Amino acid sequence: MSLAATAPHGFLSPTGVEIAFLLVGLVTLGAALITVTTRQLVHAALWLVVTLGGLAVEYLLLTAEFIAWVQVLIYVGSVVVLLLFGLMLTRAPIGRSPDADSGNRLPALVVAAGAAGALVWVVTDAFRATWIDLDGPAAGTTRVTGESLFRHWVLPFEALSVLLLAALVGAIVLSRRTKAEAPGTPSAANTPGDKEGAR
């Protein structure tokens, strides 16, 4: 085995996978920014599909195929569909929504930057001395992920499913109107039968 084959590549000589990872990450970041800045609710939901799909591609590039398909099936196929159904059931406007901007962009930006900084610091501090064993079993396989999920994360997994169910029920409740609130429905006091009885 030659020395060139065993020598690790440096920062200035990235591989094709690393370049693809960076490009997909930039697209995902741009889609996420459009998601939170657009004033059209339906467009925000569709850009969220692009964002979550980009994350699935990133998982594929990290050889975590199971996590990638879970990302597609649960988040793209369930959560986004649930959001779109909620928008349709609550009769959200299709075009630009003037009330979608509350005017608190600066405080929201400060909070988002603080949350992102705290998340990066926590993850960096937690995994600073963690190394991936490339010779061992792949960390993203179905067996390894399933054992970790259903051994240590069963309660959060079930709580998330209950949360999604509650969101769907809430959207249905908000979309239903009583007959008295429905437009064009005559009130009980103005029906012809009541007028005949009053005579």
The CATH number of the structural domain formed by 15-96 is 1.20.120.1200
Pick the residue with more confidence: 53 or 1? 53
| Predicted TM-score (pTM) above 0.85 | no
What is the token pair recorded at 16? 């094709």
Measured distance CA(9)–CA(16) in Å, rounded: 12
Where are the chain's structural domains? 15-96, 141-174
Measured distance CA(22)–CA(9) in Å, rounded: 16
Residue 8 has pLDDT above 80, yes or no: no
Residue 57 has pLDDT above 70, yes or no: yes
pLDDT of residue 54: 93
Q: What are phi and psi of 138, to 5 degrees?
A: -65, 135
Measured distance CA(27)–CA(30) in Å, rounded: 5
What is the token pair recorded at 153? 């994360």
Residue 41: CB atoms within 10 Å? 20
- Residue 40 and residue 97 in contact, taking contact as beta carbons nearer than 8 Å: yes
Give the pLDDT band of residue 180 (cuts 50, 70, 90): very low
pLDDT digit string, tens, across residues 96-131: 666 666 677 788 889 989 998 998 999 888 877 777
Measured distance CA(66)–CA(69) in Å, rounded: 5
Q: If you average pLDDT over residues 170-191, what whole number do you get?
A: 57
pLDDT digit string, tens, across residues 185-198: 554 445 455 444 44
pLDDT of residue 161: 80
